[in-house]
């Protein structure tokens, strides 16, 4: 059985107010072509389908059209990420089933239809006469898991309990797959992503995952393998969504049977426009760099001894691929360098709390609750 694993589509997301739906459409078509060329049997889409809980009509249209086309090639499993509204994402789940698509906003999947059989937290089906069970755990926030935070029960333990609950559907003679959207111990973040460690309290250790032939994860934009022995993988995002996302974007194609993974490749995605952060020491150098990088979205940092002339500014602005421009002057350089040290969500909250309560440190569970809310945004 061949699977295609992707995640973090972030359909509708803009880059410095620049609409990229056309780019995203080209990438989605490329993913469909990859699925077709590789004769994929199942596509796993591990969360953050949209960039906001209320996506634009264009983003929703792109998603549903892409899923219908993908569903004509293979079985499609889609789960909600922290950016998605789980109810909205799964609103069309009954109709989606007729198109060979499972839309899972929450873990509790109780419907059975067509070739799917569902239990609490899992989906069962047959592909090429082979039994397949997918343990489905959409973004497991405390609120979405329907749990009240208890001081004596750590978040990783609650997530582990949910992961193992869905794994009750696993059988010895079936291909067993985990799919979720979370931060795993060992994950390396990239670019436009919130603090991963969250003080270590929100990281899920590899031992929290039930034994499976494959574990498909979303939430981290950088493609990476967390554990080869446990087959835990992040596909990464389908496009760069920040100027420091420099990794090659790809989808995973894995050939799996009941004994394990036969083949594993990352198929590169090429239809998006790369990003580049460029530095120049003169207007002429800046214009030359922009001309040489017309195929990229550019953030240009121009360091000058004096302010820029109107004619030079006009020449620079004529490049539509330049989305952000930073002018660095000697008298401001120290301030700019200082401003580059951005604080994490945790640091900002702790500083604010201490300023309001006479220097008193907030309790760890309060900090974690704040970070959980920030992750929902």
**Based on the structure, what is the number of domains in the chain?**
3
Task: Give the long-range contacts of residues 11-15, CB within 8 A, separation 24 or more.
Answer: 11/49, 11/50, 11/51, 11/55, 11/59, 11/60, 11/62, 11/63, 12/50, 12/51, 12/52, 12/55, 12/56, 12/58, 12/59, 13/51, 13/241, 15/241, 15/242, 15/275, 15/297, 15/323
What is the spatial distance between Cα 281 and Cα 86, in angstroms, rounded to a whole number?
A: 48
Closest to 137 (Cα-Cα) out of 63, 204, 190: 204
Q: Residue 31: name the closest of 253, 225, 263 by CA.
A: 253
Average the pLDDT over each of 26-40, 196-210, 276-290, 327-341 and give the range with the smallest value: 327-341
The encoded tokens of residue 152 equal: 């004596």
Statement to judge: residues 224 and 282 lie in one domain? no
CA distances from 143 to 86, 158, 292, 299, 349 (A): 12, 12, 49, 38, 21
Residue with tokens 């993913």: 31
Please state, in angstroms and as integers, the Cα–Cα distance from residue 51 to each residue in 107, 310, 324, following that order: 21, 37, 21
Please check whether residues 124 and 252 belong to one and the same domain.
yes
Whole-Å CA distances, 354 to 205, 310, 360, 372:
31, 46, 5, 20
Same domain, 155 and 186: yes
Question: What confidence tens digit (pLDDT) does each residue in 184-197 have?
Answer: 988 877 755 555 54
Q: Are residues 80 and 202 in the same domain?
A: yes
pLDDT band per the 50, 70, 90 thresholds, residue 369: confident
Q: What is the pLDDT of residue 338?
A: 33
Same domain, 106 and 255: yes
Q: Do residue 255 and residue 172 come from a single domain?
A: yes
pLDDT band at 32 (very low <50, low <70, confident <90, very high): very high
Name the DSSP letter for residue 57: H
Q: How many CB atoms lie within 10 A of CB 133?
A: 24
User: Does residue 206 sit in the same domain as residue 354?
Assistant: no
- The answer to whether residues 115 and 206 belong to one domain is yes
Summarize pLDDT for 107-157 with one digit per residue, the tens: 666 655 567 888 889 999 999 999 999 999 999 876 666 655 555 678 889
Element (H, E) at 54: none
Q: Which of 241, 268, 295 is the last residue of a domain?
A: 268
At 300-351, the pLDDT tens digits run: 999 988 888 889 989 999 999 999 999 888 765 543 433 333 456 677 788 8
Q: Is there a single domain that holds both residue 150 and residue 81?
A: yes
Q: Same domain, yes or no, for 295 and 238? A: no
Taking alpha carbons only, the member of 39, 86, 91 closest to residue 64 is 91
**pLDDT the model gives residue 33:** 98
Give dist(CA 270, CA 368) in Å, integer: 38
- Domain hosting 318: range is 275-339
Task: Please count the helices (runs of H) and the strands (runs of E) in the chain.
Answer: 10, 16
DSSP string, 79-135: E--TTS-HHHHTTTHHHHHTTTEEEESSSB----BTTBEEEBTEEEEEETTEEEEEE
Query: What confidence score (pLDDT) does residue 334 get?
Result: 41
pLDDT higher than threshold 80 for residue 97: yes
Nearest to 223 by CA among 257, 197, 253: 253
Which CATH number goes with the domain that contains 38? Answer: 3.60.21.10
Say how far apart CA 271 and CA 233 lie, in whole Å. 23
The pLDDT of residue 229 is above 90: no
Residue 143: the pLDDT is 67
Same domain, 294 and 224: no
């Amino acid at each position: 059985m061949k699977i295609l694993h992707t995640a973090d589509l972030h359909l509708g997301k803009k880059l410095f107010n620049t609409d990229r739906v056309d780019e995203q459409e080209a990438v989605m078509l490329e993913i469909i072509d990859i699925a077709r060329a590789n004769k994929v049997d199942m596509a796993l889409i591990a969360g953050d389908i949209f960039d906001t809980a209320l996506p634009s009509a264009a983003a929703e249209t792109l998603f549903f059209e892409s899923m219908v086309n993908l569903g004509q090639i293979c079985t499609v499993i889609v789960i909600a990420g922290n950016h998605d509204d789980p109810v909205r994402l799964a609103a069309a789940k009954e109709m989606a089933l007729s198109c060979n698509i499972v839309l899972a906003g929450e873990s509790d999947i109780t419907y059975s239809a067509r070739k799917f059989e569902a239990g609490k937290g899992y989906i069962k089906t047959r592909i090429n006469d082979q039994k397949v069970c997918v343990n489905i755990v959409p973004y497991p926030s405390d609120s979405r898991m329907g749990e009240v935070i208890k001081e004596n029960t750590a978040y990783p333990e609650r997530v582990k309990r949910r992961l193992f609950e869905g794994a009750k559907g696993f059988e010895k003679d079936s291909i067993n797959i985990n799919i979720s959207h979370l931060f795993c111990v060992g994950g390396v973040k990239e670019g436009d992503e919130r603090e991963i460690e969250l003080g270590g309290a929100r990281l899920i250790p590899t031992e929290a995952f039930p034994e499976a032939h494959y574990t498909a994860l979303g939430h981290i934009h950088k493609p990476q393998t967390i554990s080869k022995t446990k087959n835990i993988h992040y596909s990464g995002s389908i496009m760069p969504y920040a100027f420091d996302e420099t990794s090659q974007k790809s989808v995973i194609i894995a050939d799996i049977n009941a004994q394990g993974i036969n083949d594993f490749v990352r198929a590169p995605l090429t239809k998006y426009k790369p990003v580049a952060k460029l530095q120049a020491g003169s207007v002429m150098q800046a214009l030359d760099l922009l001309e040489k990088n017309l195929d990229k979205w550019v953030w240009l940092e121009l360091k000058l001894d004096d302010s820029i002339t109107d004619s030079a500014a006009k020449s620079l602005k004529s490049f539509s691929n330049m989305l952000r421009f930073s002018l660095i002057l000697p008298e401001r350089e120290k301030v700019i360098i200082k401003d580059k040290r951005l604080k994490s969500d945790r640091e900002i909250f702790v500083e604010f709390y201490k300023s309001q309560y006479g220097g008193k440190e907030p309790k760890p569970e309060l900090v974690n609750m704040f970070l959980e809310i920030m992750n929902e945004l």
